[in-house]
């Protein structure tokens, strides 16, 4: 188990290192210049600016400086806002995190429940409905779902009834958080319910379920004590990628619903070619997801003893 | 209960020709799979939808009286089925804020989106099969290193890499293909590797080896054809993900350059005027969703048809 954890951590660190170097070089390869603006900047000012941001040093020195700063948790100064990137992230990330967690929790809980229902009531209309939701969820991008929800539940429902059930934009009251969270969670909900159904059907066909049945256990006990516990394993492994999908999906959902989260800053920094802001945000997201994956991997090692055995054999 | 007497049975004798006769026409694996697929109604409907969308995308931009960038400022933001009072042509899907014909733009966008999706998936297929094939066949430390590289690439969320790449390479449809293919091949490589690893233990591969077949022949003749069914299913399911990536990138402002259209660009343009002219977003949204849905269902159908054991 110890070896397994060390290995996972080593991979996570290596991935972060590669990501940092990659972001750095990508940013340097970018066409254009962060100081290009409406007004031409005098030669001396340009030199001073380049010196201030360290852009006049050889590239390996810049990389070294960059890595050193990142390791100390300093992501640099946003060129566009002239504010530390750390500050901007600290201000915007809580919104994104709030939105992301709501979506993630909703998707996981609902996805698992739908998957269980579909598997237990296989072949009935429940099964069909769940699979319909699942297939629509993976086929309709989140920004379309967001816009449709906004139009029908935000605008049309208000026009029809005169009562504002769901505010169209914003992130302050509970009601205003419902639509964006749902729009963001839909795709992941579909993936999870589909996976859960497959996994559940697999487990329900196992011999130990037959044994439990022949012992005379109730259906409820068989499903919750024996089937679900085993069927939930594959869900844990996809939580990492699902978290990634939710976080990147938040870019567009935040834009649609005007939520002042990281997504807005990220999209804006692409348009303004704000080097440090882009690399800082990318790195932050990358690190966040690598760590999320690491936690999932380690948790999986603790929950499923088979991982330990496979590791020992290796 | 009546007793069955031995005398009730009669020995008809062994008929050698009858026993050897093949009473059913023999079919190959692929014909059998196609037969199963043709029995799957949703998958067949999806196949026709895909063909229909592809045909529209190919022919509408050629036959349309309008071009994608032609502006009619006298009648911008018109609703569906608006007939141009000057030349009598109908704007079937209406016009956008610059008075461009949405019908032409939608199908021209379909061309771009489908081109991006198909090329990206094709490149994934080539890289994935070669990489996975080598890794799976050689095994050992080569495999170990090759898989570690994939693990690191997979550790970084692919949309972030795609966004970074999109910013470095000048915008265009090909850029999208490159950006998507740069990270999209890992899934295919893993799949092919896993298949090849289990297949190379099979007796017929060992037999081929014993008979002196060279690695290239074993991989090309024995291993790859047997991975094909899984690869085809994966390719079909990768296309919707490529279409989604295109739409996503266009939506955050990293799409193909103006005046080119793609479904993602159209959705982005449409979302700006959504509250007043919802049809401008709904049309590309339906195109994106319907295409993704069709490929997803077709992929499911293909999986059932190619591997009946996996059927649920």
pLDDT, one tens digit per residue, over B129-159 is 889 988 888 888 888 888 888 877 877 777 7
Determine the Cα–Cα distance for residues A283 and B160; give it in Å rounded to an integer.
9
Cis preceding-peptide flag for A171 (omega within 30 of 0): no
The answer to whether the Cβ–Cβ distance between A147 and B251 falls below 8 Å is no
Domain-located, residue A307: yes
The answer to whether the Cβ–Cβ distance between B168 and A29 falls below 8 Å is yes
Would you state the pLDDT for residue A1?
Answer: 72
> Which residue of B168, B288, B297 is in closest CB contact with A141?
B288
Would you state the pLDDT for residue A314?
Answer: 45
| 0.85 surpassed by complex ipTM | no
Which residues constitute the domain of residue A194? 92-313
Determine the Cα–Cα distance for residues A126 and A119; give it in Å rounded to an integer.
9
Residues of chain A contacting B151 with CB distance shorter than 8 Å: 11, 15
Residues of chain A contacting B148 with CB distance shorter than 8 Å: 11
Lowest mean pLDDT among A297-301, A303-307, B204-208: A303-307
Contact call for residues A259 and A171 (beta carbons, < 8 A) = yes
The answer to whether the Cβ–Cβ distance between B155 and A148 falls below 8 Å is no
Domain-located, residue A60: no
Determine the Cα–Cα distance for residues A246 and A179; give it in Å rounded to an integer.
15
Q: Please, which residues have CB within 8 angstroms of residue A89's CB and are 6 or more apart in sequence?
A: A75, A262, A280, A281, A284
The answer to whether the Cβ–Cβ distance between A18 and B152 falls below 8 Å is yes
The answer to whether the Cβ–Cβ distance between A143 and B247 falls below 8 Å is yes
Domain-located, residue A99: yes
pLDDT, one tens digit per residue, over A224-278 is 888 888 888 888 878 888 888 888 788 888 888 888 888 878 877 877 777 778 8
pLDDT, one tens digit per residue, over A192-208 is 998 899 889 888 888 98
Where does the pLDDT of residue B311 fall: very low under 50, low under 70, confident under 90, or very high at 90 and above? very low
Q: Write down the CATH number for the domain with range B31-67+75-310.
A: 1.10.3720.10
**How many domains are contained in chain A?**
1
pTM of the model: 0.80
Domain-located, residue A27: no
> Which residue of B156, B170, B274 is in closest CB contact with A19?
B156
Contact call for residues B204 and B223 (beta carbons, < 8 A) = no
> Which token pair is B64?
């349309």
Residues of chain A contacting B281 with CB distance shorter than 8 Å: 144, 147
The answer to whether the Cβ–Cβ distance between A143 and B312 falls below 8 Å is no
Lowest mean pLDDT among B28-42, B122-136, B297-311: B297-311
Domain harbouring A258, CATH code = 1.10.3720.10
Q: Quick count: other Cβ atoms within 10 Å of Cβ A119?
A: 26
For A31, phi then psi, to 5°, come to -75, 155
């Amino acid at each position: 188990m110890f070896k397994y954890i060390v290995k996972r951590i080593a991979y996570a660190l290596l991935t972060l290192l590669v990501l940092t170097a990659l972001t750095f070089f990508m940013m340097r390869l970018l066409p254009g210049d962060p100081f290009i603006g409406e007004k031409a900047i005098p030669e001396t000012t340009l030199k001073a600016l380049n010196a201030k941001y360290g852009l006049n040093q050889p590239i390996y020195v810049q990389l070294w400086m960059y890595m050193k700063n990142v390791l100390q948790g300093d992501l640099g100064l946003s060129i566009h806002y002239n504010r530390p990137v750390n500050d901007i992230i600290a201000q915007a990330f809580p919104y994104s995190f709030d939105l992301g967690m709501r979506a993630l929790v909703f998707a996981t809980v609902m996805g698992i429940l739908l998957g269980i229902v579909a598997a237990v009531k296989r072949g009935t209309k429940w099964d069909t409905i769940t699979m319909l939701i699942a297939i629509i969820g993976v086929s309709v991008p989140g920004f379309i779902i967001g816009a449709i929800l906004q139009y029908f539940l935000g605008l049309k429902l208000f026009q029809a009834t005169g009562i504002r059930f769901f505010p169209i934009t914003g992130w302050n009251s509970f009601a205003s958080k419902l639509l964006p969270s749902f729009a963001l969670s839909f795709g992941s909900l579909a993936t999870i319910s589909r996976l859960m159904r497959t996994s559940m059907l697999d487990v329900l066909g196992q011999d130990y379920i037959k044994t439990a049945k022949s012992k005379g256990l109730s259906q409820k006990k068989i499903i919750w004590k024996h089937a679900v516990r085993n069927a939930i394993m594959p869900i844990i492994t996809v939580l990492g990628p699902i978290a990634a999908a939710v976080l990147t999906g938040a870019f567009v959902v935040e834009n649609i619903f005007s939520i002042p989260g990281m997504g807005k800053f990220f999209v804006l920094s692409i348009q303004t070619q704000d080097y440090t802001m882009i690399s800082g945000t990318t790195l932050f997201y990358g690190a966040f997801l690598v760590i999320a994956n690491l936690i999932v991997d380690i948790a999986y090692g603790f929950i499923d003893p088979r991982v330990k055995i496979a590791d020992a054999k290796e | 209960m009546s007793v069955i007497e031995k005398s009730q049975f009669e020995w008809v004798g062994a008929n050698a020709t009858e026993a050897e006769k093949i009473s059913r026409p023999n079919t190959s694996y692929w014909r059998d799979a196609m037969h199963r697929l043709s029995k799957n109604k949703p998958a067949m409907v999806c196949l026709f939808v895909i063909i229909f969308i592809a045909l529209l995308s190919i022919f509408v931009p050629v036959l349309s009286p309008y071009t994608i960038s032609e502006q009619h400022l006298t009648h911008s933001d018109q609703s569906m089925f608006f007939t141009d009072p000057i030349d009598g042509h109908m704007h079937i899907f209406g016009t956008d804020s610059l008075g461009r014909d949405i019908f032409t733009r939608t199908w021209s966008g379909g061309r771009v989106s489908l081109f991006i999706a198909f090329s990206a998936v094709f490149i994934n297929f080539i890289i994935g099969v070669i990489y996975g094939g080598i890794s799976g066949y050689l095994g050992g430390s080569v495999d170990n290193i090759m898989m570690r590289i994939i693990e690191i690439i997979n550790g970084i969320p692919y949309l972030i890499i795609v966004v970074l790449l999109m910013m470095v390479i000048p915008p265009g449809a090909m850029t999208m293909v490159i950006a998507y293919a740069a990270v999209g091949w890992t899934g295919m490589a893993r799949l092919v590797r896993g298949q090849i690893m289990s297949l190379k233990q099979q007796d017929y591969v060992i037999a081929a080896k014993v008979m002196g077949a060279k690695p290239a022949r074993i991989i090309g003749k024995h291993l790859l054809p047997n991975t094909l069914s899984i690869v085809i299913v994966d390719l079909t399911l990768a296309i919707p993900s490529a279409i989604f990536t295109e739409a996503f990138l266009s939506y955050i402002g990293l799409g193909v350059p103006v005046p080119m259209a793609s479904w993602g660009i159209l959705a982005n343009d449409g979302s700006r005027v959504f509250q007043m002219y919802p049809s401008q977003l709904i049309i590309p949204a339906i195109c994106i969703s319907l295409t993704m849905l069709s490929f997803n269902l077709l992929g499911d159908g293909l999986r059932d048809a190619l591997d009946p054991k996996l059927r649920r």
